[in-house]
Structure 1
Amino acid sequence: MTVSQLFVRPAVAADRAAVERLWLLFRHDMSEFQGQLPNPDATYRSERLESAFQDAAWAPYLMTSGDRPVGFAFVRALDEPVRVLNSFFVVRAARRSGLGLRAVREVIARHPGPWAIAFQDANAAAVAFWRRVATEVAGDAWIEERRPVPDRPGTPPDVWISFTAA
């Protein structure tokens, strides 16, 4: 699929059902790298989804192409010095089309300042994508570090990329 049109906008209450469905796809993709099975009702943990729509320090975004939802992004820590891209997802049919890079640049541009983004080393596509994002947004003025995952001993550390966006 070629996605030529991309719209990134704040997600509102009316978008909740679509974002919830995208969330299931996102969590399913992440289960490969985090080893988490679905709940007995086939859902996944959704605390971040809840926070994105209820907490004033969070901003949920919906990405669409025409009338089709193609992804979402959750930004948190809007009331802190460093914004965190908490969750970012693009449906498989729209990946490797440039849509993800365009979308994340739009989200970051809406919240200038310091940023931190986490991902897993085992997710090779994410490693390449987030390093490319950091380079496109900040040139060579970004850092990468590994941090332990809180409350999950034995889990490989997350990789964090940090940079400042103008």
Structure 2
Amino acid sequence: MLEIDIRPVSESEWSTLGWLWQCFRHDLALVVGGLPYPDGRYQTRGLPERPTADVAAYLAWRPHPRTDEPAPVGFAVVDGLAQERRSIAALWVAPVVRSDGVGRALALDVVRRHDAPWAVAFQHDNPGAGRFWRRFADVAFGPDGWTEEQREVPGVPGAPPDHWIETR
């Protein structure tokens, strides 16, 4: 059985989200051609500093294998809470637990906390994300409950289009 605790980021955990965000951007670096800035950190655009009426963030926790203390193994950022459509703006899971179903459990938990309709975007050059999000959409929304389309990336001429999954 998957032992995972998913909860909103608490006031004292926003720095934890910031550290994990660097892992997220590191993973995306190969897809988007990203480099760290002079201070050694990747960009933080999209990283919330706190919850707002439009944005929520969640951490997934699992016992650390050496200490049994809670260890953060993933996060999700949701935006559009005050808009017509919610979106999973970012989702990251530690590589060592990716095959354990943590990503699917985290994404399902997050969409169940907020009303539909939903959208999820992923980069064209990230085939693993495409497989993950399509399988997720089938489970979360039903095989006929979502559509996928490609859209240009705003402000990035020549970039491959992003893929958008949206609920019907």
* TM-score, length of structure 1 as denominator length: 0.92
2:55 matched to 1:63?
no
Give the match for residue 155 of structure 1: 159
**Structure ranking higher on relative contact order (CA contacts 8 Å, 6+ apart):** 1
Alignment of 1:24-39 (within 5 A): 24-39=22-37
Give the match for residue 142 of structure 2: 139
> SS of the residue aligned with 2:100?
coil
Classify 1:61/1:135 alpha carbon distance in 2 versus 1 (closer, same or farther; 3 Å): same
Question: In structure 1, how many angstroms separate the alpha carbons of the residues matched to 2:148 and 2:2?
Answer: 31
2:4 matched to 1:6?
yes
Give the match for residue 111 of structure 1: 114
Alpha-carbon offset, residue 54 of structure 1: 5.0
Question: In structure 1, how many angstroms separate the alpha carbons of the residues matched to 2:136 and 2:47?
Answer: 23
Q: Contact 1:63–1:72 at 8 Å: present in 2 too?
A: yes
> SS of the residue aligned with 1:129?
helix
**Matched letter for residue 7 of structure 2:** R
**What percentage of aligned pairs have identical amino acids?**
38
> SS of the residue aligned with 1:143?
strand
Query: Structure 2: 5+ residue runs without aligned partners?
Result: 64-69
**Matched letter for residue 19 of structure 1:** L
Q: Contact 1:9–1:62 at 8 Å: present in 2 too?
A: yes
**Matched letter for residue 137 of structure 1:** A
Q: Contact 1:4–1:65 at 8 Å: present in 2 too?
A: no
Give the match for residue 66 of structure 2: none
* TM-score, length of structure 2 as denominator length: 0.91
Q: Contact 1:62–1:71 at 8 Å: present in 2 too?
A: yes
**Matched letter for residue 143 of structure 1:** T
> SS of the residue aligned with 1:69?
strand
Q: Contact 2:75–2:91 at 8 Å: present in 1 too?
A: yes
Question: In structure 2, how many angstroms separate the alpha carbons of the residues matched to 1:81 and 1:121?
Answer: 25
Aligned residues: 161
